[in-house]
Structure 1
Amino acid sequence: MREQVITRDIIADPKTKYGDAKASTRHFITQRVTGAINVLFIGLLVFIVVRLAGQDRADMVAVIGNGFVGIPFAVLLAVVTVHMRNGMRDTLEDYLAGATYRLAMLLNTLFCLAVGLIGVISILKLVFWG
């Protein structure tokens, strides 16, 4: 089967179907919602940074190990990694195509998943096991 060459005329024509409309809408909404959540949680992040400035490990464990701080902080980290993945996806879509794009997206997803899982598990370990 011959692959269709996508030109500017095809993209500009509203009668052609270019891309996945549902996935694009979901991506747009996810990016906006995670951005709004990040703005709401910025106060928590500033509190943690200011509270832990110049403190030793015991104070860090005491602050982050508190359930009222640690659990929202873990949620914030998860939301930030989703937002980070989507932001990098936008950049990768602009500059890469084909197999290179798919490889870069795989690496981006794996990196964000690793950062999110390691961070959330570390925070929850402090909350539940000190």
Structure 2
Amino acid sequence: MRETVTRDMVANPKTHYGDAKAATRHFMTQRITGLINIVFLGFLLFIIVRLGGQDRADMVGVIGNPLIGLPFAVLIAIVAVHMRNGMRDTLEDYVHGRMFSLAMLLNTLFCLLVAVAAIGAIAKLVFWG
């Protein structure tokens, strides 16, 4: 039988509530992906400004360039990881029990679906035009 966790147990630093290594890994992943997103923001703004007012052929030409398309695909993967971790924080606060497991599964699947679809579209432009 599981012990009921109270607010006092969580607030007391002498109780070991949760997994310290997983929490630290989650914290560091969120901060590192956030920093990488800030760095890549300049790259993303360059693409947006470069493609402003252009037609589809110009867009394919810019994103189809491997020096632009491949870093853009990496950016999308990092944003998907950051999105999953950010949503996990919200789910941990508001969803509990079996619903948390289901919500995390759906969150992971959604982020994976978005990343695969976007990276697939970019790979198509880079490798097949």
Output the TM-score relative to the length of structure 1.
0.95
Q: In 2, distance between residues paired with 1:83 and 1:13?
A: 30
The match for 1:91 is 90
Aligned ranges 1:73-112 → 2 under 5 Å: 73-112=72-111
Bigger drift between 88-97 and 6-15 goes to: 6-15
Measure, in 1, the Cα distance between the counterparts of 2:102 and 2:53: 41
Segment drifting more, 51-60 vs 108-117 = 51-60
The correspondence of residues 31-50 of structure 1 with structure 2, limited to 5 A, is 31-50=30-49
1:103 and 1:70 map into 2 onto residues whose CA distance is: 34
Residue 121 of structure 2: aligned partner = 122
Residue 117 of structure 2 aligns to a residue whose secondary structure is helix
Looking at structure 2, the residues matched to 12 and 94 of structure 1 have their Cα atoms a distance apart, in angstroms, of: 15
How many correspondences in the alignment? 129
Query: Which runs of no fewer than 5 residues in structure 2 stay unpaired?
Result: none
Specify every segment of 5 or more residues in structure 1 that has no aligned partner in the other structure, as ranges.
Answer: none
Once the 2 structures are TM-superposed, how far is the Cα of residue 129 of structure 1 from its aligned partner? 1.2
Q: Are positions 1:20 and 2:36 aligned together? A: no
The residue matched to 2:35 in structure 1 has which SS? helix
- The residue type paired with residue 25 of structure 2 is R
Partner of 2:63: 64
- Structure 1 position 15, deviation (Å): 2.3
Q: C-alpha distance in 2, partners of 1:21/1:92? A: 19
Distance in 2 (alpha carbons) for counterparts of 1:43 and 1:10: 44
- Structure 2 counterpart of 1:108, one-letter code: N
How far apart are the structure 2 equivalents of 1:15 and 1:112?
A: 36
CA distance in 2, matches of 1:83, 1:109: 11
- CA distance in 2 between counterparts of 1:121 and 1:99 reads 33
Q: CA RMSD in A?
A: 0.9
TM-score under structure 2 normalisation? 0.96
For 1:119 and 1:100, locate their aligned partners in 2 and report how far apart those are by CA, in whole Å. 28
Deviation at 1:125? 1.4
Percent of pairs with identical residues: 67
Per-residue deviation, 1:106: 0.5
Please list every run of at least 4 consecutive aligned residues from structure 1 whose deviation after the TM superposition is greater than 3 angstroms. Answer: none
Deviation at 1:14, TM superposition (A): 2.0
